[in-house]
Amino acid sequence: MRIKCLSKCFLIFAFALTLILEAPFVAASAEPRPTWTFIVYLDCDNSLDMFGPINLQQMSDGLAPGANVNVIVLMDRLNQPAYTYEVTSGATKIVQSLGEVDMGNSTTLTAFIVFAIENYSADHYFLDLWDHGGGYRGVCWDESSGNHLSPHDVETALASAEDETHTKIDVVGFDACLMGMVEVCYELKDVTNIVIGSEMLIPGYGWPYTQLMTYLSNNPTVNMYTLSGELVKEYVAYYPKYTVQLSAIDEAEMRTFASRLDDLADALKANVAAYYKVISSARGSSQQNHILGTGSAYYYIDLYDFVGSISVNLHETSIQTECANLISEFDLAVFAERHTAKLANLDKKEFGLTINFPPNSKQYSISYEIYVPCFIQETT
């Protein structure tokens, strides 16, 4: 009886196996490759220490359960070790314990970008540089080391990461003050497609990460231009009682933009003695005075406002032509820009990009040539 029973079981198994082998193959369902990996270089090893964990939590709060988006964060806090976090809905998981790191060293940034790309692959990558910012003077001050990243350091880090991974960062966003500058965007023109930065100061609470992650959760396949425009919109809406501004710059336009800027600069220099008063007046009227309250003089002017003033007050055809050409290119390069309504007597000049323009040679800093050498060497 036992032998017969085993034989019956074997026949049933063989029949079932035949059905399985003859059935059409159906692949196991798999999560689609994410469109976006959001890489956050969160340097709060300084006076912004209290705000880093807040923004980290906001990212987790904003992500929907099962959101097909990678969010990876390197956070270095003041007098604390650095950790790399994988952020999901309602959770921040430590995936690297790094001890003390120098966030002001380009090799640290390169290593983190490479780690994120190799371990959290996606179709597109957004790099968020979070910290204090100083325009052409740089970003990501690390109090433990005393170092910071110049725009050229950022360019070097991104170029090295691209060489190692054969992957280009699609968007570089600066959640840091004053980084919406011509010089910064020009320095990064070959290592990313879009730069997002502000002409103005950014409040300590930074970008609205809950809203941003909610948007990404709901729109995981969004393209880089739409995503950048959404961030610009959400950021300004987040601070209705502050004077804030944010721009998104198409880096593909920066070579042409710089060429148009060169043409205007050359035209003005050709007869600078005659144009001196108009240039000086335009510089003063477009100065971003509000940012002077940061403890050191930042002689940044709103370039669009400056060119408009030159165009109105210099009536020579050649100058007017160069102004019109630059304004036209400006409208192509700055594809998204918003700012809050003007408050009190704060700045009224926000059109997308600043440029360094000291009032005299004594206020010129030699660090300009060190921090943005591509702009210095390749333009007038």
- State the total domains in the chain: 2
pLDDT at 296: 54
Cα–Cα distance measured from residue 353 to residue 320, given in angstroms and rounded to the nearest whole number: 20
What is the span of the domain harbouring residue 308? 255-378
Number of helical (H) and strand (E) elements in the chain, helices listed first: 13, 13
Domain boundary among 222, 251, 280: 251
246, 275: one domain: no
For residue 54, the domain's CATH number is 3.40.50.11970
pTM of structure: 0.89
Domain boundary among 251, 272, 290: 251
CA-closest candidate to residue 101, choices 128, 127, 119, 74: 74
CA-closest candidate to residue 372, choices 356, 352, 351: 356
In a domain, 158, yes or no: yes
In a domain, 247, yes or no: yes
How open is the CA angle 129-291-170, to the nearest 5 degrees?
A: 25
Write out pLDDT tens, residues 69-101: 999 999 999 999 999 999 999 999 999 999 999
204, 78: one domain: yes
Cα–Cα distance measured from residue 125 to residue 224, given in angstroms and rounded to the nearest whole number: 9
Q: How far is CA 175 from CA 48, 196, 307, in A?
A: 12, 9, 27
211, 324: one domain: no
95, 152: one domain: yes
Domain boundary among 251, 277, 299: 251
CA-closest candidate to residue 337, choices 302, 361, 293: 302
Cα–chain-centroid distance for residue 245? 14
Write out pLDDT tens, residues 335-373: 999 888 664 444 454 678 999 999 889 989 999 999 999
Cα–Cα distance measured from residue 79 to residue 12, given in angstroms and rounded to the nearest whole number: 68
pLDDT band, very low/low/confident/very high, at 3 (cuts 50, 70, 90) = very low
In a domain, 136, yes or no: yes
Is residue 164 within 8 Å of residue 223, measured between CB atoms?
no
242, 263: one domain: no
Residue 2 has pLDDT above 50, yes or no: no
Write out pLDDT tens, residues 228-261: 999 999 999 999 888 889 999 999 999 999 999 9
